[in-house]
Chain A
Amino acid sequence: MTATFHRYISAGILLIWGGVLTGFYFSGKIGSYLHPSFHLWTVLSGLTLLLMAVGMVMLPGTVNNAPQESVPQTPGPRSRLGKIFAALILIAPLLMATIVSPHQFGAALVANRGLATGIGDLPGYTPYVEPALPGEEGEPSTAQEASDFLPRTEEGLIKAQSVDLLYAAEEPTMRADFEDQDVELIGQYMPARANNAAGDRFDLVRMYVMCCAADARPVGVTIQTAQPQNLAEMSWVQVKGRATFPLVAGRRVPVIIASSVTPTEAPPESFVY
């Protein structure tokens, strides 16, 4: 009876974990939690856990009439109460987090982790080095040629990411592609804390991720608007405007002079990488 109880409890826990992992993958929610390089591992693990759950119930050596010596010794709680408590730890936090998780961070996390406003604040950045002069066969590219390759909206605005603009602020060749160009960005609204006496500036925030949401670093681009915005903190907005790179305290920073700010849905890929 105890062995049967233990086997079905174990299979049930595996089933729940496998269901959550595969569910997150097939619903697309996984994109709000993990870097794309982990997505495949997540679904494979989910499917493996589901198979293991079936195996626990079906395979020889795991069924009720198996010889007693085939039951492996396992450490952990021995009493039934202990096993139920362990099962609760294995299931309850996962289910609770799955139900209550807002699938994105709030303003408190941005305040606690700080906002990266320069590309040097981000992981994996290699400092800019002036390119060598072109050789006899090489021709220097022009800004116009480079910007032709940038993705554009139907209206002709450059589809920019906040990280692109941070790179552009640091690297002159890239800056030439964006400076004084009309751009469109999507991000989360956070009122600007500094240099915002008139209340007409806000930070457009995206989460820069290496592995999973737990290591996310908020990235912000300053948006200058004609009048103060009345939006909820960390709500998703689409900004259209002109990209500028003024000098602030000796370094270039991206500032978008917005022509429109409209609430929008979260994009399928909420992170930037």
Chain B
Amino acid sequence: MDGPWFTFSFGDFSYAFLSVLLEGVPFILLGTLMAGLIDQFLPSRLMVRYLPRNPFLGVCLSGAMGMVFPMCECGVVPVIRRLMAKGLPLSNAIAYMLAAPIVNPIVALSTYAAFRGQNAAEFTCLRLGVGYLVAVLAAMAVHHLPIASVMKKGILGLTNSEPTGGGTGAPLLRRLAAALRVAVADFLDVMIYFILGAAIASVFSTAINQEVILPLALNTWLATISLMGFAGILSLCSTSDAFIAATFIAFPGVAKLAFMVFGPMMDLKLLFIYSSVFKKRFVAGLALGLFVLIALICVRLSVLGI
């Protein structure tokens, strides 16, 4: 490897940091605007009425909802926060939160395009399939946890509250104004964590010499784990990460798959964004659980010759 493994440049950091902020804000804003509208206009208990009563079926359905309501990983957190306030069970929210950034038509198309000439259909199906499976398994694990051990105190209060302001009988303008306040509050709240996460991700993505991981490509386990760690550091958007994964020619296919499944579910900026809703201990457990589960599944898939 040429040069040191870590070289920090403040100019490179500030440039990368600003570009992540500019790219991420539209998605977070979209998510928080939807959250505001959900808070004011989605009738309470509507989802409870239509969701399957069986928790497993509910989780399976929620995990697939990204196909109808696609959301990227930055914007999904404020949405699930308000959906939970409307009665969406925690396990269903986790399934949607983890699956929607992967199991959606935009990501399917971008993955297929990125892997043209490299078994594109196989990679696309595997990415969506493994992403869905992991989201469902993680959600079912969370289903058995008491909600108080998962949610932050302030958020727990929100999940038991009625619509903030306006209400179903209030005039439209007042409800829109209340939706705006909810959207603004959620936007500012999530942005604090997004900024901190983007800053840390930008330090690592610009300062670490990427040749560090190349020698690890020869071993399936090391390659998978190192690319998952790399996905966590880079904090790429799920709509474009497949294009980056496809360039890791030296790495086995399962390692690229792990990169594309783990990154949209857990990375440095998401660690902070999730912390705006969930307890830190739960976020740490979720990160570790996802890491182990995805690594195990992907390495196991290597027997298929991927």
A positions within 8 Å CB-CB of B: 10, 13-14, 17, 21, 24, 30, 33-34, 38, 41-42, 44-45, 48-49, 52, 55-56, 59-62, 69-76, 86, 89-90, 93-94, 96-98, 100-106, 108-109, 111-114, 120-124, 126-127, 193, 210-215, 217
Q: Which residues between 175 and 194 of chain B lie within 8 Å of chain A, taking CB atoms?
A: 176-178, 180-189, 191-192
Some 26 contacts from A to B, beta carbons below 8 A apart, are A44-B26, A61-B174, A61-B181, A62-B180, A71-B181, A72-B181, A75-B152, A75-B154, A76-B185, A89-B192, A90-B191, A94-B18, A94-B21, A101-B18, A106-B11, A108-B8, A108-B207, A111-B2, A111-B3, A112-B207, A112-B210, A123-B246, A127-B117, A210-B240, A211-B236, A211-B239
Closest to B10 in A: A100
Residues of chain B lying within 8 A (CB to CB) of residue A123: 114, 243-244, 246-247
Structural contact, A112 and B178, CB atoms closer than 8 A: no
Residues of chain B lying within 8 A (CB to CB) of residue A121: 247, 249
A237 to chain B, nearest CB (A): 19
Structural contact, B25 and A21, CB atoms closer than 8 A: yes
CA distance A49 to B202 in the complex (A): 24
A59 to chain B, nearest CB (A): 4
B113 to chain A, nearest CB (A): 7
Residues of chain A lying within 8 A (CB to CB) of residue B240: 210-211, 215
Residues of chain B lying within 8 A (CB to CB) of residue A104: 15
B35 to chain A, nearest CB (A): 11
Residues of chain A lying within 8 A (CB to CB) of residue B181: 56, 61-62, 70-72
CA distance A52 to B236 in the complex (A): 28
Structural contact, B237 and A211, CB atoms closer than 8 A: yes
CA distance A72 to B157 in the complex (A): 12
Choose among A59, A111, A124 the residue that contacts B173 (Cβ–Cβ < 8 A). Answer: A59
Residues of chain B lying within 8 A (CB to CB) of residue A127: 117
Residues of chain A lying within 8 A (CB to CB) of residue B14: 96-97, 100-102
Residues of chain A lying within 8 A (CB to CB) of residue B117: 126-127
Tell whether A55 pairs with B157 under 8 Å between CB atoms, given A34-B23, A73-B164: no
Choose among B7, B39, B180 the residue that contacts A108 (Cβ–Cβ < 8 A). Answer: B7
Q: Which residues between 1 and 53 of chain B lie within 8 Å of chain A, taking CB atoms?
A: 2-3, 7-12, 14-23, 25-26, 29, 33, 39
Structural contact, B178 and A93, CB atoms closer than 8 A: no
Structural contact, B192 and A61, CB atoms closer than 8 A: no
B positions within 8 Å CB-CB of A: 2-3, 7-12, 14-23, 25-26, 29, 33, 39, 113-114, 116-117, 152, 154-155, 157-158, 161, 164-166, 173-174, 176-178, 180-189, 191-192, 195-196, 199, 201-202, 205-211, 234, 236-237, 239-240, 243-244, 246-247, 249, 276
Structural contact, A210 and B243, CB atoms closer than 8 A: yes
Structural contact, B15 and A193, CB atoms closer than 8 A: no
Residues of chain B lying within 8 A (CB to CB) of residue A17: 25
A23 to chain B, nearest CB (A): 11
A207 to chain B, nearest CB (A): 10
Residues of chain B lying within 8 A (CB to CB) of residue A212: 19-20, 22-23
Closest to A87 in B: B188
Query: Known pairs A76-B192, A112-B3. 20 more at Cβ < 8 A?
Result: A10-B184, A42-B26, A71-B181, A72-B182, A73-B157, A73-B158, A89-B192, A90-B188, A93-B195, A93-B199, A97-B15, A97-B21, A101-B11, A106-B9, A108-B9, A108-B206, A121-B249, A126-B117, A214-B16, A214-B236
B112 to chain A, nearest CB (A): 12
Tell whether A33 pairs with B18 under 8 Å between CB atoms, given A17-B25, A106-B12: yes
Structural contact, B195 and A94, CB atoms closer than 8 A: yes
CA distance A1 to B9 in the complex (A): 44
Residues of chain A lying within 8 A (CB to CB) of residue B246: 123-124
Tell whether A59 pairs with B244 under 8 Å between CB atoms, given A33-B19, A193-B2: no
